[in-house]
Structure 1
Amino acid sequence: MSVPIPSRVHYHKSARELELGYPNGDSYRLSIEYLRVFSPSAEVRGHGPDTAVLQVGKKDVGLANITQAGRYALKLSFDDGHDSGLFSWDYLYALATNAEINWADYLKRLEAAGESREPKTIQFKEL
């Protein structure tokens, strides 16, 4: 089964959400924080489940840039400087359709680690 490719990608800057619209009418709005903590990069995921790095303090992260990578992915550049990892259409669709389960698991892992979504320092963003 082929995963659908979005026909519309829109960044809602004030809400810090990326909207993915599909040809069948389905639409998903994913928070930038969610995308950042589930980045497919080795920096976040490690080289296996045992080496994944729990992302903390990302509540206020936004996007600095979005570019298409060929015909198969988006490259999201986050305003905290993270810009490695390509979000394939398959991976974005999986994130969208499993968002509730993924987010609940992330919050449990944060709590178990005694960590928070809140940034530990004051974040300054370029205007």
Structure 2
Amino acid sequence: MATPLPTEIKLHQKSRILEIAFEDGSVFKLPCEYLRVYSPSAEVRGHGPDQGVLQVGKEDVTITEIRPVGHYAIAPRFSDGHDSGIYTWELLYNLGRHQTELWNEYLKKLEQAGYQRRNQTP
């Protein structure tokens, strides 16, 4: 099954939410922090298996700019200077569909690393 295409992308600066509507009717509200910690960049994911870097201290990060990448992705610039992640429609759709489980997985990794988030909700 092909990934649905986005029909609308809205950045809500105040709430730090990227809202994405897809042609299948799905609408996802993805916090900037969530997108930042799940960046597809090598800086975050590493260059091979088990080389990812746990992102900490991203509670207040925002998206300052969104650049289109062809007809298949966007490249957001984050307020912490990170701008090397290319978020394909498929990645954004999967981040939306699996948001709860991925967010809980991230919180568990933070806890295991001994990091205490300043804000408990993304």
Q: Which bin holds the TM-score, normalised by the shorter protein?
A: over 0.9
In the aligned structure 1, how far is the partner of 2:43 from the partner of 2:82? 9
Q: Once the two structures are superposed, what CA deviation does each residue of 1:40-76 show, in whole Å capped at 9, x if it has no partner?
A: 0000000123110000000000011001100110001
Classify 1:81/1:71 alpha carbon distance in 2 versus 1 (closer, same or farther; 3 Å).
same
Shift of 1:101: 0.4
Which residue does the alignment assign to 1:10?
10
Deviation at 1:23, TM superposition (A): 2.0
Deviation for aligned residue 1:116:
3.1
The whole-number CA distance in structure 2 between the counterparts of 1:98 and 1:79 is: 25
Task: Calculate the TM-score normalised by the size of structure 1.
Answer: 0.90
Segment of structure 1 superposing worse, 88-97 or 42-51: 42-51
Q: After the TM superposition, which residues 31-110 of structure 1 pair with which residues of structure 2 at under 5 Å, given as runs?
A: 31-110=31-110
The alignment yields a C-alpha RMSD, in angstroms, of 1.3
TM-score by length of 2: 0.93
Which amino acid is 1:90 matched to? Answer: E
Indicate yes or no: 2:109 matched with 1:112: no
**1:29 counterpart residue number:** 29
Q: Take 1:93 and 1:65, find their aligned partners in 2: how far apart are those partners?
A: 20
Structure 2: unaligned runs, 5 residues or longer? none
Cα distance between partner residues in 2 of 1:82 and 1:26: 27
4+ runs deviating over 6 angstroms: none
Instruction: Give the letter aligned to residue 53 of structure 2.
Output: V
How far 1:92 sits from its partner (Å)? 0.5
> Structure 2 CA distance, aligned partners of 1:109 and 1:45?
14
Contact 1:21-1:27 at 8 Å conserved across structures? yes
2-structure distance, mates of 1:110, 1:45: 16
The aligned length equals 119
